[in-house]
């Protein structure tokens, strides 16, 4: 049976997220974006509202909601601004859900629980200078020294770099071993040899913090290794499936924001004696936005359905990420076209939507990478192996 209706619990999440965005984010986002100001207090409020641990089981400090509810949360946050979906991507998707799947009991107690409660902020460090799509070719190294690992290298384009408390990072124990040499570690801010720096001058997501991580003989306790030595690449790829899911869902929200603004303006603006919404080519752009939103949301929900069932979803999540992010960019371009000169300035939010949309077709796998992934599935060159560890099922009402 196929049922496209949302449950009462899912609708509650949607309403709660939208109310939070309208109360806490929208009144301030123009100022935060235009001044490139990061305000950690807004993220702390998200944590206090239970939004940062939504898909984490209650026994680990979360709310225990399913992945469809999580997608709705991501959609509503990015409908307000991308920076607030980004924290759900890095804190919840890439870090906390990865710890839920791969961390041991002690690590879950020390890190996952306070993160799910919103008491600590967390992020994910894989990308390096010169290493983006080729994630198996890491330069950051780790070597075992007694009961510690010593890390050297750097990570770049890391969201929450200068504000997160905990970092899930990846380093190679043996570069010659390729992806089989990569290992995952939990690094705390304040560990000896670890420092961070903010990046400035970003095109978009200006209300969020992005930066660089530096490891200079950084000492990490062996107890903070996640999984076994050499399992890091597998762990990273499972994390990226979570991250891509959040990006896809958020991009639906960004496209929806573009449509909302464009519909409003199409009624307000008059040319040649009628609303511009009466003009056929404006109608075409509005209809195109709507069609892509509906299709994208269904792709996200299909991936979420498989995640709820604990099934491998790399193919479905990749397709959703590719389609939804490309559509968000197209919707933002059309929204600016509909607004005309007013869309070209920050007088209307569609200018911010376009700047924010461009990042999503780059991070978590470029659109070109996802094109290749989908083609390789079709040609039979790429086949998913069964999950070594099943996707953790949600706990709670769906």
Among 121, 156, 182, the domain boundary falls at 121
User: Computed from CA positions of residues 198, 199, 200, 206, in that sequence, does the dihedral angle turn out positive or negative?
Assistant: negative
- Residue 354 to residue 262: CA distance in whole angstroms: 13
Mean pLDDT over all residues of the chain?
Answer: 95
CA 257 to chain centre: 18
CA distances (Å), origin 288, targets 78, 223, 333, 361, 377: 20, 52, 12, 19, 28
Alpha-carbon distance 281 to 275, whole Å? 13
CB of 137 closer than 8 Å to CB of 209: no
Q: Is the same domain home to 113 and 141?
A: no
The residues, ordered by sequence, that sit 6+ positions from 256 with a Cβ below 8 Å of its Cβ are: 75, 79, 293
| Contact indicator for 300, 245 with CB cutoff of 8 Å | yes
Packed helices 8-20 and 67-80: angle between N→C axes, nearest 10 degrees? 20
Question: Are the C-beta atoms of residues 142 and 157 closer than 8 Å to each other?
Answer: no
Residues 237 and 224 in one domain: no
CATH of the domain at 215: 2.40.110.10
Tell me the per-residue pLDDT of 160-195, one tens digit each, with 9 for 90 and over.
Answer: 999 999 999 999 999 999 999 999 999 999 999 999
pTM over 0.85: yes
Alpha carbons 138 and 140: distance in angstroms, whole number: 6
Residue 326 belongs to some domain of the structure: yes
pLDDT tens digit sequence for 42-54: 999 999 999 999 9
Indicate whether 250 and 314 sit together in one domain.
Answer: yes
Q: What angle do CA 183, 191, 136 make, to 5 degrees?
A: 20
Q: Which of 216, 232, 248 is the last residue of a domain?
A: 232
Residue 274 included in any domain: yes
The answer to whether position 389 is within a domain reads no
252 and 189 within one domain: no
Q: In this predicted model, which residue has the larger pLDDT, 41 or 133?
A: 41
| 391 domain residue, yes or no | no
Beta bridge partners of 172: 141, 182
The beta-carbon contacts of 119-122 under 8 Å, at least 24 apart in sequence, are: 119/47, 120/165, 120/166, 121/40, 121/43, 121/47, 121/87, 121/91, 121/160, 121/163, 121/164, 121/165, 121/166, 122/90, 122/91, 122/95, 122/96, 122/160, 122/164, 122/165, 122/166, 122/167, 122/168
- Please state the rounded mean pLDDT for residues 28-57: 96
Predicted local confidence at residue 397, as pLDDT: 42
pLDDT the model gives residue 3: 86
- pLDDT tens digits, one per residue of 300-344: 999 999 999 999 999 999 999 999 999 999 999 999 999 999 999
332, 249: one domain: yes
Among the ranges given (214-223, 232-241, 279-288, 377-386), the one the predictor scored with the smallest mean pLDDT: 377-386
**Domain end marker among 64, 97, 121:** 121
CATH code: domain of residue 34:
1.10.540.10
228 and 286 together in one domain: no
* Count of domains observed in the chain: 3
Q: How confident is the model at residue 390 (pLDDT cuts 50, 70, 90)?
A: very low
Q: Looking at residue 137, what is its pLDDT?
A: 85
Q: How far apart are CA 53 and CA 99, in angstroms?
A: 12
Percent of all residues in the chain with a pLDDT value above 70, rounded to a whole number: 96
Position 130 scores a pLDDT of 80
> Does residue 116 sit in the same domain as residue 12?
yes
Is residue 246 domain-shared with residue 373, that is, in the same domain? yes
Compute the chain's Rg from CA coordinates.
21
- Examine the pLDDT at 398 and tell me if it is beyond 50: no
Claim to verify: residue 370 and residue 247 sit in the same structural domain: yes
Same domain, 103 and 145: no
Quick one: average pLDDT of 131-143? 84
Catalytic member of 347, 364, 395, 397: 364
Q: Quick one: pLDDT at residue 135?
A: 74
pLDDT of 357 strictly over 70 = yes
Same domain assignment for residues 172 and 211: yes
In a domain, 273, yes or no: yes
| Average pLDDT, integer, range 214-240 | 97
The CATH number assigned to the domain holding 299 equals: 1.20.140.10
Range of the domain at 284: 233-379
Identify whether residues 307 and 357 lie together within a single domain: yes
- Which residues are 153's β-sheet partners? 215
**231: Cα within 13 Å, side-chain hemisphere:** 15
Q: What's the whole-number mean pLDDT along residues 354-372?
A: 96
Look up 364 and say whether it is catalytic. Answer: yes
Q: Examine residue 333 and state whether it is found in any structural domain, yes or no.
A: yes
Q: Give a yes or no: residue 1 inside a domain.
A: no
Mean pLDDT of 127-149: 88
Q: How confident is the model at residue 2 (pLDDT cuts 50, 70, 90)?
A: confident
Q: Classify residue 171: in a domain, yes or no.
A: yes
């Amino acid at each position: 049976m196929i049922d496209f209706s949302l449950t009462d619990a899912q609708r509650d999440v949607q309403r709660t997220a939208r109310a939070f965005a309208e109360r806490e984010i929208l009144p301030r986002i123009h100022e935060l974006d235009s001044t490139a100001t990061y305000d950690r207090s807004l993220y702390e409020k998200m944590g206090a509202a239970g939004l940062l641990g939504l898909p984490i089981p209650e026994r680990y400090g979360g709310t225990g909601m399913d992945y469809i509810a999580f997608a709705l949360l991501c959609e509503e946050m990015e409908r307000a601004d991308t920076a607030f979906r980004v924290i759900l991507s890095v804190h919840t998707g890439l870090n906390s859900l990865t710890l839920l799947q791969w961390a041991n009991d002690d690590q879950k107690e020390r890190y996952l629980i306070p993160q799910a409660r919103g008491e600590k902020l967390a992020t994910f460090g894989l990308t390096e200078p010169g290493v983006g799509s080729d994630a198996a070719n890491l330069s950051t190294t780790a070597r075992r020294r007694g009961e510690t690992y010593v890390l050297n290298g750097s990570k770049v384009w890391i969201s929450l770099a200068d504000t997160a408390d905990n970092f899930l990072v990846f380093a190679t124990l043996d570069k010659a071993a390729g992806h089989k040499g990569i290992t995952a570690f939990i690094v705390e801010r304040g560990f000896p040899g670890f420092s961070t720096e903010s990046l400035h001058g970003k095109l978009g997501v200006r209300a969020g913090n992005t930066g660089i991580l530096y490891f200079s003989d950084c000492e990490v306790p062996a107890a903070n290794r996640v999984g076994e030595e050499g399992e890091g690449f597998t762990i990273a790829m499972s994390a990226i499936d979570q991250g891509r899911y959040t990006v896809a869902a958020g991009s639906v929200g960004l496209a929806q924001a573009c449509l909302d603004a464009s519909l409003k303006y199409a009624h307000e603006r008059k040319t040649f004696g009628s609303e511009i919404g009466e003009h056929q080519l404006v109608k075409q752009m509005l209809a195109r936005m709507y069609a892509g939103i509906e299709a994208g949301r269904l792709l996200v929900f299909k991936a979420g359905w498989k995640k709820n069932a604990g099934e491998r979803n790399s193919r479905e999540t990749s397709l959703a990420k590719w389609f939804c992010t490309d559509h968000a960019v197209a919707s933002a371009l059309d929204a600016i076209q509909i607004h005309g000169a007013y869309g070209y300035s920050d007088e209307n939010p569609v200018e911010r939507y376009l700047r924010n949309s461009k990042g999503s077709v780059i991070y978590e796998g470029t659109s070109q990478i996802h094109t290749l992934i989908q083609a390789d599935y079709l040609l039979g060159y790429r086949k998913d192996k069964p999950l070594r560890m099943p996707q953790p099922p949600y706990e709670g009402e769906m």
